[in-house]
């Protein structure tokens, strides 16, 4: 059974978003997603300073098996990326909600997250 | 409804993720494809390959029939158990399938791909014409591949057939037991490691698979089978070759027996024309120099050439820790080219299409 966290918001494409105390939003992929992908071997992240748009591609995660697009749950400017993933992409498998985060955004409109799923709705989706 | 091997319940018990593979419900992995890959390179792994099609050919014309059906010449097989890798071609010289043929006491045994089973059997039937042969699919047999540096020692011990099996040469097999229930153990594989492919009765396979796992052999799925064969530079039907691809463009020239000149085989005339006209492309190995993962279908470009190449099989290589691929490129491509990955050109080195053998990097 994959882990879910109540404080996160989720996309049906299996990304999560966490609103931090400084108002920034951290983005990663869910435990369910990393399980389905298998061993992650490469992550392509947006550049710091670039703009990402809600529900649009912001990067790519590749496992041994396949490449999957990463969609951003929110629009805004990328203020940080998880550079540790370059040398240790397997962190996405071992710690999808903590050390395996992808990028951090200063949101242009936090209300966009109202369109995302809460833990209960995401749970229902992956159990379908 | 997916077809199942006799091992489905064992796969589930061992935690397999099962997927539809050519109409069969097969294990993709048992948790980590990467761990399974490393187990085969360093120790031993067992793959359920019962989905592959085993076909026995017998009858007084078995030899001459196969000499006509196959591009390689079964006359090269000089003793029972010996194996030959070959293509089965259409009249245009395209590859209907690639397969291994073993000489058996009762005739010959072919092991063909599962995804091509129906068209293979239909084609083989069609070529029979006046040949006196019996074609019998052996769906009463399951098949396990036990591969890795420790694989043979473990199997030899379990089968209590140490002396017979230790003497077995690469690319040959031996029957263990007699009659319809005999096991056939061949020193062949699809991983670049030593090991066996074992054909055994359906009813015997679960007990044997359990004893392998109990002896420390790692259960492995089709995911690691693919990364292992790619590292070994081995072709996969539907990727490196298909019905519209000549074996000459898939590094299979060595499997075409041109001699004796008098032997006619399906596709011979077309292949000779292709050979005499000169080949437009070659199958090479690629190793990425920059970041990313090479994947099937990605285009390849080189400054010196207007034509493009294409990746036929690409993946991350668990042994090398970087991405590798097999690719078909124009003859003029030399030492380096660029792979187009999501619109970005990434440098890749062109190498001989064999990356890992017996656990070691070989390029």
What are A41's two structure tokens? 């071997």
- Residue A8: phi and psi, rounded to 5, are -95, 160
Average pLDDT of span A89-96: 97
Q: Give pLDDT tens digits for A23-35.
A: 999 999 999 999 9
Average pLDDT, chain B: 96
In angstroms, the Cα distances linking B92 to A57, A107, B121, B274 are 44, 60, 19, 10
Note whether residue A92 is domain-resident: yes
User: B218 and B293 in one domain?
Assistant: no
Q: What is the pLDDT of residue B71?
A: 98
B68 occurs within a structural domain: no
Instruction: Specify the pLDDT at position B178.
Output: 76
Residue B50, in any domain of the structure = no
Q: Are B329 and B190 part of one and the same domain?
A: no
Alpha carbon of residue A100 to chain centroid: 9
Min distance B239 CA to chain A CA atoms (Å): 15
Model pLDDT, residue B33: 93
Q: Indicate whether B242 belongs to any domain.
A: no
Q: Per-residue pLDDT for B179 more than 80?
A: no
User: Residue A4 falls within a domain, yes or no?
Assistant: no
Confidence check: pLDDT of B143 > 80? yes
pLDDT for the residue B354: 96
Given this model, what pLDDT does residue A65 score?
A: 86
Residue A127 lies in a domain: no
Is the pLDDT assigned to residue B333 strictly greater than 80?
yes
pLDDT at B290: 86
On whether residue B295 sits in a domain, the answer given is: yes
| Domain harbouring B306, CATH code | 2.40.30.110
Does residue B260 have a cis peptide bond before it, meaning omega lies within 30 degrees of 0?
yes
In a domain, A128, yes or no: no
Mutate one of B15, B315, B318 to test the A interface: name it (highest A CB count within 10 A). B315
Distance from CA of B149 to the nearest CA of A (A): 23
A32 is in which domain, residue-wise?
9-122
Is-contact A67 A128, C-beta < 8 A?
A: no
Total number of domains in chain B: 2
Portion of chain B with pLDDT greater than 70, in percent: 100
Check which CATH number belongs to the domain holding B16 and give it. 3.30.1360.120
Give yes or no: residues B28 and B163 share one domain: yes
B18 and B162 fall within a common domain: yes
User: Is residue A58 in a domain?
Assistant: yes
For B207, which DSSP code?
A: H
Is residue A3 assigned to a domain? no
CB contact under 8 A, B32 and A42: no
Q: Is B149 on the interface with A (CB under 8 A)?
A: no
Q: Which residue of A has its CA nearest to B324?
A: A64
CATH number at residue A76: 2.40.50.100
pLDDT at B304: 83
Host domain of residue B346: 280-361
Cβ neighbours of residue B110 closer than 8 Å, sequence gap 6 or more: B54, B55, B56, B57, B99, B100, B101, B102
B17 token code pair = 């993720």
Average pLDDT, chain A: 95
DSSP state of B280: S
Contact A39 B32 (CB under 8 A): yes
Select from A38, A42, A66 the Cβ nearest to the Cβ of B29: A38
d(C-alpha B247, C-alpha B22), whole Å:
23
Question: Per-residue pLDDT for B329 more than 80?
Answer: yes
Which pLDDT value is given to residue B190? Answer: 98
Answer yes or no: do B162 and B305 share one domain: no
Do residue B292 and residue A41 have CB atoms under 8 angstroms apart? no
Residue B47 has pLDDT above 80, yes or no: yes
Share of chain B above pLDDT 90, in %: 95
CA dist B249 and B275 (Å) reads 10
Q: How many domains does chain A have?
A: 1
Quote the tokens at residue B8. Answer: 């489905």
Residues pairing with A71 in the sheet: A57
Query: How are beta strands B356-357 and B360-361 bridged, if at all?
Result: antiparallel
**pLDDT tens for each residue of B49-89:** 999 999 999 999 999 999 999 999 999 999 999 999 999 99
Contact A38, A65 (CB under 8 A): yes
Closest residue, chain A, to B296 (C-alpha): A66
- Give the helix ranges, DSSP H, for chain A: 31-37, 84-87, 91-94, 119-127
Asked if the Cβ–Cβ distance from B223 to A64 is below 8 Å, we say yes
Residue numbers in B near A44 (CB within 8 A): 291-292, 342
pLDDT for B161? 81
If asked whether residues B208 and B322 sit together in one domain, one would say: no
Residue B270 has pLDDT above 80, yes or no: yes
Interface residue B43 vs chain A (CB under 8 A): no
d(CA B270, CA B71): 12
Residue corresponding to tokens 């085989």: B265
Is residue A75 domain-resident?
yes
Asked if the structure places residue B270 within a domain, the reply is: no
Residue B275 maps to a domain = no
A26, β-bridge pairs: A18, A104
Is A80 contained in some domain? yes
How far is B29 from B40, CA to CA, in rounded Å?
A: 13
Which residue from B33, B291, B292 is facing A38, i.e. has the nearest CB?
B33
Tell whether B317 is within 8 A of chain A (Cβ): no
For B202-250, write each residue's pLDDT tens digit.
999 999 999 999 999 999 999 999 999 999 999 999 999 999 999 999 9
* CA–CA dist B156, B333 (Å, integer): 46
- Asked, for residue B79, whether it belongs to a domain, the answer is no
Res A124 pLDDT > 90: yes
pLDDT (tens digit per residue) in B6-29: 999 999 999 999 999 999 999 999
Q: Do B295 and A44 touch (CB under 8 A)?
A: no
Asked whether the beta carbons of residue A64 and residue B34 sit closer than 8 angstroms, the reply is: yes
Confidence of residue B162 (pLDDT cuts 50, 70, 90): confident
Query: Of the candidates B260, B292, B92, B105, which has an alpha carbon nearest to the alpha carbon of residue B182?
Result: B105
Which contiguous run of DSSP H or E holds residue B239?
A: none
Confidence label for A2 from pLDDT (cuts 50, 70 and 90): confident
């Amino acid at each position: 059974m994959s882990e879910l966290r109540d404080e996160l918001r989720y996309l049906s494409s299996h990304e999560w978003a966490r609103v931090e105390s400084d108002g920034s939003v951290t983005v990663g992929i869910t435990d369910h997603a990393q399980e389905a992908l298998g061993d992650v071997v490469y992550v392509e992240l947006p550049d710091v300073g670039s703009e990402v748009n809600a529900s649009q591609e912001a990067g790519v995660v590749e496992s041994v098996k396949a490449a999957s697009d990463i969609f951003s749950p929110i629009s805004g400017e990328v203020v940080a990326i998880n550079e540790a993933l370059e040398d240790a992409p397997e962190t996405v498998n071992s710690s999808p909600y903590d050390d395996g985060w992808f990028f951090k955004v200063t949101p242009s409109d936090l209300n966009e997250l109202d369109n995302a799923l809460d833990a209960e709705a995401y749970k229902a989706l992956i159990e379908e | 409804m997916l077809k199942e091997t006799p091992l489905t319940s064992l796969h589930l018990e061992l935690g397999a993720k099962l997927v539809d593979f050519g109409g069969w419900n097969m294990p993709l992995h048992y948790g980590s494809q990467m761990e399974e890959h490393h187990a085969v390179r360093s120790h031993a792994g067992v793959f359920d390959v019962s989905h592959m099609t085993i076909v026995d050919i017998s009858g007084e014309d078995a030899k001459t029939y196969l000499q006509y059906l196959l591009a390689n010449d079964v006359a090269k097989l000089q003793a029972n158990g010996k194996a030959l890798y070959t293509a089965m071609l259409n009249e245009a010289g395209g590859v209907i399938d690639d397969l291994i043929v073993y000489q058996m006491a009762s005739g010959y045994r072919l092991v063909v791909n599962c995804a091509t089973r129906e068209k293979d059997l239909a084609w083989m039937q069609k070529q029979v014409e006046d040949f006196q042969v019996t074609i019998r699919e052996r769906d009463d047999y399951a098949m396990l591949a036990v591969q890795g540096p420790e694989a043979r020692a473990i199997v030899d011990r379990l089968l209590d057939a140490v002396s017979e099996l230790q003497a077995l040469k690469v690319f040959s097999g031996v029957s263990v037991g007699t009659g319809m229930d005999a096991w056939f153990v061949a020193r062949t594989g699809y991983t670049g490691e030593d090991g066996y492919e074992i054909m055994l009765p359906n009813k015997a396979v679960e007990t044997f698979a359990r004893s392998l796992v109990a002896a420390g052999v790692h259960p492995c799925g089709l995911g690691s089978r693919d990364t292992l064969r790619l590292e070994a530079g081995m072709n996969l039907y539907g990727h490196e070759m298909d019905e519209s691809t000549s074996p000459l463009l898939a590094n299979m020239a060595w499997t075409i027996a041109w001699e004796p000149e008098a032997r006619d085989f399906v596709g011979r005339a077309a292949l000779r024309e292709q050979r005499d006209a000169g080949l437009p492309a070659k199958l090479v190995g690629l190793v990425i120099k920059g970041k990313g993962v090479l994947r099937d279908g990605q285009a390849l470009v080189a400054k010196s050439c207007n034509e493009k190449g294409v990746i036929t099989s690409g993946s991350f290589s668990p042994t090398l820790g970087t991405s590798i691929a097999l690719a078909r490129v124009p003859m003029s491509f030399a030492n380096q080219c660029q792979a187009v990955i999501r619109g970005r050109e990434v440098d890749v080195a062109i190498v001989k299409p064999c990356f890992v053998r017996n656990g070691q990097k070989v390029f």
